[in-house]
Amino acid sequence: MRKTSKLLALGALSAMLMSGAAIAQDKITIGFLPGVVDPFYQVMELGVMAAAKDLGLEVVTQIPATWGVEVQTPILDAMVARGDIDFLIIAPTDKDQMIAPLELALESGIQIITVDTFLGDGDYLNGPVTFPISAIGSDNTEGGRISARGLAKAIGGEGSVYINSTNPNVSSVEARAIGFNDVMDNEFPGITVVGIDFNLDDMNTAVQQTSATLERVPDLAGVFGTNVFSAQGAGTAVVNAGLGGVVQVVAYDATQFAIEQLREGTVSLVLAQKPYDMGYMAVQFAAATASGVTSLPTKVETGFAIIDIDNVDDPEVARFIYQVPN
Ligand code: T6T
């Protein structure tokens, strides 16, 4: 409910209180603006919609066709222009460039919750950006460490490895590479990270980049794909080169594609995030804030499911594979 209508509501509320009528439950409208159309955010949307149904709330969803501030910002501005959005659940496509547009949204009366990616350094209590209510997402640095240890195990602790990622300045994939490099640098002296390429969240570009690296580094032992399209591209390039099962691949994000490549032996480890939890909790946080709660944590780290060939058929693990509606 927006500022103007809030004044009307307050007037109605005082009238009801005086009349002894029940207090009307404020109906809030939530905007949902993820990063791009992909299985990760589609599962997040399932969580958003489930919570909205459970809480009887309205959600306005807009999903960018491609990743980037130049796509996400106009959609954000259109949401602000609607004048009826009370809370916005957003995955900022750049941790710095999305600050100003979201400050404008805040000034218009919309409260912000970030999911998956964050603004600034993600510390909304003491960091450079403190206006969002909370940052709800994976501990991506730890996710990068888990991926590195998994790849190191798959290649026997030595050899050359490569990272294929999406965009610089995206908090999530940036942290994954940091965690990955931290472990390789400090725990596996026999492993060399030959480099990182940025595919701008385009799978075909990831295929081309990984193929070029396989040519440039003939003894490449492993590849880390830091997200859905990076991992899909890396795995495809390895198979195209006839190196499935020879060059190991670790895939961040548990898409059906990654699971198929796990079963084929191309992928040795899949890291599932919990996007459903992110979406569901973000809606809960909006409803709680609207109801006067002021003690919400400014950071919520959702967990992982680490999937390999030995546990992929365990229902307690398989439940975290990204099942998206056709
Ligand atoms: O890996 C996820 C998400 O966590 C990241 O911020 C961007 O890429 C994905 O959406 C997968 O495509």
User: Which residue, among 311, 310, 307, has the nearest Cα to 321 in the 3D structure?
Assistant: 307
Kindly report the CATH number assigned to the domain that includes residue 189.
3.40.50.2300
**In a shared domain, residues 53 and 88:** yes
* Model pLDDT, residue 45: 98
The pLDDT of residue 325 is 76
Its sign, for the CA torsion 231, 237, 242, 247, is negative
Nearest CA to ligand 1 atom 10: 40
Q: Rounded to the nearest whole angstrom, what is the distance from the C-alpha of residue 228 to the centroid of ligand 1?
A: 6
Are 8 and 134 within one domain?
A: yes
Q: Cβ contacts of residue 116 below 8 Å, gap of 6+?
A: 34, 35, 40, 41, 44, 91, 136, 137, 138, 172, 273, 275, 278
249 touches 266 (CB < 8 A): yes
Q: How many degrees, rounded to 5, is the angle at CA 76 between CA 74 and CA 78?
A: 70
162 with 179, same domain? Answer: yes
Distance 40 CA to ligand 1 centre (A): 6
The whole-number pLDDT of residue 18 equals 42
Phi, psi of 153 (to 5 degrees): -65, -40
User: Does residue 17 sit in the same domain as residue 127?
Assistant: yes
Using CA positions, which residue lies closest to atom 12 of ligand 1? 228
Residue 306 phi/psi, 5° resolution?
Answer: -95, 115
Q: How buried is residue 292: exposed, middle or buried, by Cβ count under 10 Å (0-12/13-18/19+)?
A: exposed
Same domain, 162 and 229: yes
Each of the 326 residues of the chain gets a pLDDT tens digit; together they read 454 455 555 555 445 444 333 333 468 999 999 999 999 999 999 999 999 999 999 999 999 999 999 999 999 999 999 999 999 999 999 999 999 999 999 999 999 999 999 999 999 999 999 999 999 999 999 999 999 999 999 999 999 999 999 999 999 999 999 999 999 999 999 999 999 999 999 999 999 999 999 999 999 999 999 999 999 999 999 999 999 999 999 999 999 999 999 999 999 999 999 999 999 999 999 999 999 999 999 999 999 999 999 999 999 999 999 998 77
User: What's the chain's Rg over C-alpha atoms?
Assistant: 22
Ligand 1 pocket, residue 116 CB under 6 Å: yes
Check residue 11 and give its pLDDT.
54
CA of 138 from ligand 1 middle (Å) equals: 10
Give how many domains the chain has, as a whole number: 2
pLDDT of residue 106: 98
Cα dihedral sign for 222, 226, 232, 237? negative
One domain for residues 205 and 291: no
Q: What is the structure's pLDDT at 274?
A: 98
Domain that holds residue 84: 3-138+274-302
pLDDT given for residue 204 in this prediction: 98
* Cβ contact 113:134 at 8 Å: yes
SS3 content of the chain, % helix, strand, coil (to 5): 45, 20, 35
CB 48 within 8 A of CB 282: yes
Q: Which atom of ligand 1 is nearest to the CA of 253?
A: 1
d(CA 186, CA 180): 10
- Across-strand partners of 58? 29
Ligand 1 centroid to residue 41 C-alpha, Å: 8
Q: Are 45 and 279 in contact (CB under 8 A)?
A: yes
Check: CB of residue 90 under 8 Å from CB of residue 82: no
Collapsing DSSP states into helix, strand and coil, what is residue 141? Answer: helix
Q: Say if 316 falls within a structural domain.
A: no
Domain boundary residue among 272, 290, 314?
272
